[in-house]
A and B are shown apart, each in its own frame.
Chain A
Amino acid sequence: MIGASHARPRRLTTPLLLLVLLCAFSFGALVRVAFADHYHVTCVGHGFVHGNRLTDGSFFGRVDAGCGSTLRTCDLYTSGSWIGGVTVGGTTATCTAWSAEFGSYTECASTTHVASSGVFSSHVHKASNWCG
């Protein structure tokens, strides 16, 4: 006959508490990074740039010059539809596609597709307040 088990109350030890806090901290950091990947630096700065406010409909796709690139492209999309784009040649010019040059569009539903020859291939950056 199996005797009755005597479950001991689990104690919140200091190592366990530290582990929980570390996991929570990591989770928070991951969430922030995941939602902030609108602009970053891979040899050169590039990505989705907001205007004065996150909701004023003024936003940019941008690729800075540098790192030997001779061709940079910045295309803008809203709700998955292409709204316009800019291609810049040479080694010193920043590629800048300003949404206002193509019309009036919902900022939070917009993305930019950017590329820089010899530095990084075309990839997508979403608005930091993405709602698409």
Chain B
Amino acid sequence: MRLTRPLKLGAAALGAAALGVSAASAVVGGARAPTPPSQVPLAGSDRIEPTAPDPVGGLDWAVRVYTSTSGARCAEVGRLSGGRFGQVDASGAFYRLELDESAVCADLTVEPVVVAVNAYPAGAGRPARTVLFGRADPAVADVLVQPRDASIEDAHPRIGAAAGGFLLPLAGTIEARALPVTIRLDDGRTAVYDWKGVRHNAAAGDS
């Protein structure tokens, strides 16, 4: 009977600890973070456009674009094999990627372009790659990438005619900050994305 009180105390403490875990769970949430509606694909809105060759002859690269349920314009980069969109793992094997909430999505009514850089480290069967990609509003006439490394040539990635996707695959791993992007709009205005901010320039002749 002497153990009754300590046992009761221990049981109460355990119960209180469990209650603490439950209460804290209500505050900090569960394991699944909410998916932003700007990421969720609208069924049937996806298409692949454009494609670009790998810098050293691997599978072609491609941008899969879609519209999200919130109306955001999304772009996801991958590889093409037999018309299928996917990726190549570190061993060099191709695998298909289903349409998911994984793209980079933006509101192109706020900014005329969204730019992103994916970096893939080298693996046993996959050389390192850096891919600059994004999606442009129809008002964007040209995208110019001017790498800070002078050994890499400036490039004008082709902009997809239907959905405005663009991409530039590069060999090696390159910091995004070393890949400033200049866009030119139909009206001649330009904007420079140097990964620190956006610098807008008026069209020639504007006061």
Contact = CB atoms under 8 A, between A and B. Distances in A.
Interface residues of B, number: 61
B28 A32 contact: yes
Nearest to A10: B5
B166 to A, nearest CB: 14
Interface in A84-113: 84-96, 98, 100-104
Main secondary structure of the interface of B (DSSP, over half): mixed
B38 A94 contact: yes
Interface range on chain A (Cβ under 8 Å from partner): 35 or more
Contacts of A24: 12-17, 20
Given A24-B16, A86-B104, A29 B117 contact: no
B106 A96 contact: no
A89 B115 contact: yes
Interface string B5-45: 10001001111111111111101110111101011000000
Interface in A1-46: 12, 17, 20-33, 36-40, 45
Main secondary structure of the interface of A (DSSP, over half): mixed
12 contacts: A47-B33, A49-B32, A50-B32, A71-B176, A84-B120, A87-B176, A90-B115, A92-B110, A93-B105, A93-B106, A101-B78, A117-B196
A-B pairs with lowest CB-CB distance, top 8: A28-B20, A24-B16, A98-B102, A32-B24, A28-B17, A87-B176, A103-B89, A93-B106
